[in-house]
Amino acid sequence: MTAPEDLAVYLRPTRWLDADHPAVRAFAEGAAGAGGTAVERAVRLYYAVRDGFRYDPYAIDLSPEGFAASTTLARGRGFCVAKAGLLAAAARAVGIPSRLGFADVRNHLATPRLLETMGTDVFYYHGYTELHLDARWVKATPAFNVELCRRFGVLPLEFDGRTDSLFQPFDAEGRRHMEYLRDHGTRADMPFEEIRDAMLRRYPRLADGVAPGGDFHAEAARR
């Protein structure tokens, strides 16, 4: 018989998953609500992060502070890793064990400007969250807010707390959407240096210190 998993490390605040930050705790408690099961509270947190914070691939901040959940909360937007970190920290703040997962994905629906900025259609270290609910780990991907999905013609990712929520391979019209290329596994904390080094290596313009800027939602509307 397998021994129960020690979940203490997945509840602990860290520098980047700063679940003990007053603003993160207040957000988590307000979004999760006081009643309901852990699954119901996790679902409410997921939608609060998915739709309450705009997905913004131009908001990549490779400083240590830029990866903190409290920073994403204050900015009101972030790229996939930042939003996954916020969901993980918020979950820990209300007693739900969480960890982060990472994978390289090919994005077929990026805008021309984003592809030019990145120099590739592969998003390295795409981030998602795993939540421990009903004695098992469940994947949750809060990256794309519902408004952005509508502009791209992509069905928004739903989450019921029981089944994995991962990017669909096709959009609403049957076009290629996302391909998972490489799994980097899960982490109990944000692997800041690992992600930063990969991005500096893979995205030359970031390595050159070029701040992308731009309005990704407006670009999506013009597609």
pLDDT of 174 reads 62
**Domain-embedded: residue 3:** no
**Domain-embedded: residue 1:** no
CATH number, position 54:
3.10.620.30
**Domain-embedded: residue 6:** no
> Mean pLDDT per 10-residue run, the chain (223 residues)?
74 98 98 96 98 93 95 96 98 98 85 87 94 97 92 87 80 68 95 95 74 74 68
**Domain-embedded: residue 176:** yes
pLDDT of 209 reads 54
Phi and psi for 149 in degrees, rounded to 5? -60, -40
Residue-range definition of the domain harbouring residue 148: 11-221
Contact 63, 82 (CB under 8 A): no
Q: What amino acid is encoded at 38 in this protein?
A: A
How many Cβ atoms sit within 10 Å of the Cβ of residue 27? 22
pLDDT of 118 reads 86
What 3 state SS string does the chain have?
A: CCCCCCCHHHCCCCCCCCCCCHHHHHHHHHHHCCCCCHHHHHHHHHHHHHHHCEECHHHCCCCCHHHCHHHHHHHCEECHHHHHHHHHHHHHHCCCCEEEEEEEEEECCCCHHHHHHHCCCEEEEEEEEEEEECCEEEEECCCCCHHHHHHHCCCCCCCCCCCCCCCCCECCCCCECEEEEEEEEEECCCCHHHHHHHHHHHCHHHHCCCCCCCCHHHHHHCC
**Domain-embedded: residue 104:** yes
pTM of the model: 0.93
In degrees, rounded to 5, the angle at the alpha carbon of residue 45 between the alpha carbons of residues 42 and 46 is 85
**Domain-embedded: residue 145:** yes
pLDDT of 28 reads 98
**Domain-embedded: residue 5:** no
Give the number of domains in the chain.
1
**Domain-embedded: residue 2:** no
Buried b (16+ CB within 10 A) or exposed e, 112-128: eebeebbeeeebbbbbb
Separation CA 142–CA 174 (nearest Å): 22
pLDDT of 93 reads 98
pLDDT of 1 reads 38
